Structure 1
Amino acid sequence: MKITSSYYGNILILGRTNVGKSTLLNLLINKKISIISHKKNTTNNNIIGVYNNDIYQISFIDTPGNIFYKNKIFNLFKNYEYNYILFILDKNRWNYIEENFTKIFSKINIPIILIINKVDQIKNKNILLSYINFIQKKIKIFHLFIISAKYKLYTNDICSFICKHLPKQKHFYSSSYITNQTDKTIIKEIIRENIMKFLHKEIPYNIKIKVVFPKNLLNKLYIFLLVNKINYKKIIIGKNSKNIKLIKKRSEQNIEKFFHKKIILNIWIKIK
């Protein structure tokens, strides 16, 4: 019986808030596990997403965008060993945040795969060339990708490239494993994403979401939105219940797509 080699690696995803880390992670593993929003600090904890392709397995670790202080970045390296770092940049932005990352990179011996995202927003390509030259003086780059995660431009090439450079190693996760997020967490994140999409920017941060799975009701979920002001409750409901209906409908669609089964949400809004 022929024994097939297996390949595995840990990849850390770093970059400033709103650079597109969560969008890219979802594309890399072809599954929406990480919340996407234009609002700051949407991802609050490290999220693991696992890419499986026959003999190749890649564990991607998505990090919060607010960990750009040196001590927080160093903490990422305490419990994991990484084969590569995906360092994502927002078109041609560069300030103290990126400088802090580069200072850390100079002290660790992990190859940096640089990803310049949102290239669709750069009209003058000469700016892009000068930006790449600037970065090359700051960071030793193992490989460079220029992408648009929003429009899925050149994102497929990233996993193909990483697979070619993975070490021979047993897979850490089963082939069916996707993420370290629990079902409840994924449901909460989907609802929170839709709340962010349809409501004012200051409200989502004041909402706590509780998910209850009723016994013997496999397709029904009880959702409690806990707020601390009566005005927030009114805004969430909206005129003629418009907002809450939109949140419910879109959340049900997203949850059904993820879990591949019919879902009914019963949503209550309570004052804490």
Structure 2
Amino acid sequence: MTEPILGRLITAMVTPFDEEGGVDLARAEQLAARLVDEQLNDAVLVNGTTGEAPTTTDREKAELVRVVKQAVGDRANVLAGVGTFDTHHTIELCRQAAQAGADGLLTVTPYYSLPPQDALVEHFQTVAGATDLPMVLYDIPHRAGRPIEAASLITLAEHPNIIGVKDAKNDIVASAQVMAATDLHYYAGDDAKLLPLLGIGAVGVVGTSTHFSGRRTAELIEAWLRGDAAEALRIYRALLPVYTGVFATQGVMMVKAGLAHQGFPVGGLRGPLRPASEQQARTFGAILDAADL
């Protein structure tokens, strides 16, 4: 297996907001540095779902890429979420992210309009050709409404800029088939699927709970790579309540509650999302404490 150029441990970073609801760029820099220096992330993803990308403007997205790259420098890669349900707009976001300093791009399946597979393939090929940056496809049919079928992924793997998949399809057989047929680097798109996917050839995770569990998750991946399956399983089971607890409700809600619990508040959320309830926050804080995170 070749070493993935974007790294193995990637966190989908939340977007900090200030008291007026604006993007808090200074706090974003601090959070990105925390993820890299304390949680050992190889890369940070900005402008993803967990970053509340549906609520941020194109200008805010570009600024986030710029300041996060400035914060992490050469210590980590910065991926930019650029996916929309409009091919033209997605191309614009690709080029904007490249100009802002992104090292790679994450492109979700176009949602709502439900394009057929041949249209999905054409969309991704067109978008991947808009820049020279490596691109990871985000396969999440329960949100996007369409899977990227195995045959489509095998075709897309022929594009030189399409290098990986963030896999949230929950079809481990299809994932195994694509990994067997291509050189695509697979990342678990659900934290709790990391170890099962490593077992069939995945390279890592684009995580949410890794705001807190990154250091231990890095140890899990390292144990697996050196052939110590028992140690990887031990760490996985210890972290499983965290991996699942972060999705007790929408992940960004739980991450922001967890960061506040740990004394690193990053502000509120933009509608229609809202802060986690007191009970949800208390429960997740207890999970983090129990896992010694």
**Short-chain TM bin:** 0.3 to 0.5
Q: TM-score, normalised by structure 1?
A: 0.40
- Give 1 or 2: higher strand fraction: 1
Q: TM-score, normalised by structure 2?
A: 0.38
- Give 1 or 2: higher helix fraction: 2
